[in-house]
Structure formats: C-alpha cells, structure tokens
Amino acid sequence: MNIICKIGYYTKNLIPIAFLISIIVFVFGFKQIYYLDIDKLNIPQKSGLSREIVKESYDYLIDYSISFEDTRFEIPRLPSSENGIIHFVEVRNIIQMLIRVNIAIWLASSFGVIYCWKNKYHKVFLSIFRQLILIPVILSIPFVVNFSGSFVVFHKILFRNDYWIFDERIDPVIKILPEEFFFHEAMFMLSIILGTSFTALAIYKFIDSKKQLHDIA
C-alpha cells in the first residue's frame, strides 16, 4: 500500500465531517431565506426600519462574516454598541474558522476520495449516511419542542460572554433578526443534512445492487 493509499485509508473518515461543515457554511451564507422572511415575518414593520435598510444591514452582517478582508465592523446607517461589535466580531471569527477548517478537511479527505475511488470502497456513502442522519434526529426534537431554550444553550456553548443579549435601544440591528428567522435557518440546515444523508444512502444502495448483480452474473 503506497503512501497515498495509507493516507486515504484514514482520511476517508473525514468526508462526512467535510460535508457537514460545508452545509453549515453554505446555510449561513445563503441569504435567500432571510429575503423571504423579510416580508413573511413583517420585519420592516416590526423593526420600524425600511425594507432597504433591513436588507442592506443583513447583507452587511453576512458579507462581513464570510469575507477574508480584515475590516472594522460598522453597519451602514445603524449604530452599534461596543459589546455588539465584539459579538459580531466573534461570530465572524467562528465562521472564518469553519471556512478554513473546512478547506483543510476537504484537502485532507481528498486522499480519502482517491482511496475510495481506486478501491471501489462504496461503503463511504453508508458512512456519510450514518454520521449525518444522527444530527437531524438529535437536534430536531429540542428545536421543535423549545427552540428558544435551544437557541440560548447554543449561544452559551459558543460564546463565553453575554454580549449576544442585545439592547435594541443601542443595537437596533437585533430588531431585524427575529428568532423565527433563526428557526427557519436551523430547519433549512437540518433539511439539507437530512437530504444529503439519504442521497448518500441511495447512492450506496444503487452501487451495492449493481455489485450484487455483477457478482451473480
């Protein structure tokens, strides 16, 4: 077994993780859900801000978080407190870390992809299914039963301060980020993970059935 095969044998287990992080980053940067919620949740009316400012502010939050350009956080036309700025900087740091880790994992797991391809190791699709399916199963219940409580726990895990608890008088940006939107994003993310896992299972079963027919023939 050459060095690439040896590396591939171990890194094939990183493939499901690479898919998971890719989905998280994709959903975070997928603005269309928010665009739909602007009208569905009546965000301009409830926030007292124009639709233009609402959309511009959200676009800034996402672009700021995913951009590799090192700039100071400053939402156009909306004031921000120092604690609010620190929170969004922390959010950006998490997203930037996920992006960089994802790139590294995909580069490492590429050896695993080569290994699976050369050795016709189609059970990797079964591994993707088994590892990804657990996330929607585990998270869907608390999300549906008590999303507010899950939302708080999620923030306490990720952040070591309470700067995520905004006062809309000094951080009006919180008025354009209703909890319902985050629920929609969470459900969208879990749906993609669920879809990816079952797609992987379908591919595994298809390849396995063809292999069995070939062995019979």
Average pLDDT of the segment spanning 15-37: 94
124-141 pLDDT tens trace: 888 889 888 988 888 888
Compute the C-alpha angle 87/85/95, nearest 5°. 50
Residue with the larger pLDDT of the pair 213 and 57: 57
> Greater confidence, 120 or 179?
179
Least confident of 10-14, 71-75, 179-183: 10-14
Alpha carbon separation from 11 to 52, 112, 127 (Å, rounded): 46, 5, 13
Contacts 24+ apart (CB under 8 A), 141-147: 143/183, 143/186, 143/187, 143/190, 147/179, 147/182, 147/183, 147/186
**pLDDT surpassing 70 at residue 6:** no
Residue 102's pLDDT is what?
94
Task: Grade residue 144 by pLDDT with cuts at 50, 70 and 90.
Answer: confident
For residue 33, with 0-12 CB atoms within 10 Å meaning exposed, 13-18 middle and 19 or more buried, which class applies?
middle
pLDDT above 90 covers what percent of the chain? 66
Nearest to 49 by CA among 25, 77, 81, 75: 77
Give the separation between CA 24 and CA 150, rounded to whole angstroms: 17
Give yes or no for residue 211 having a pLDDT over 80. Answer: no
159, 90 in Cβ contact below 8 A? yes
Mean pLDDT over 13-40 rounds to 93
Pull the structure tokens for residue 2. Answer: 């050459």
187-203 pLDDT per residue, tens? 999 999 999 999 999 99
Q: Where are the alpha helices (DSSP H) in 159-178?
A: none
What integer best gives the mean pLDDT of the chain? 90
Asked if pLDDT for residue 33 goes beyond 80, the answer is yes
Residue 216 binned pLDDT confidence (cut-offs 50, 70, 90): low
Confidence of residue 10 (pLDDT cuts 50, 70, 90): low
Q: What pLDDT is attached to residue 119?
A: 81
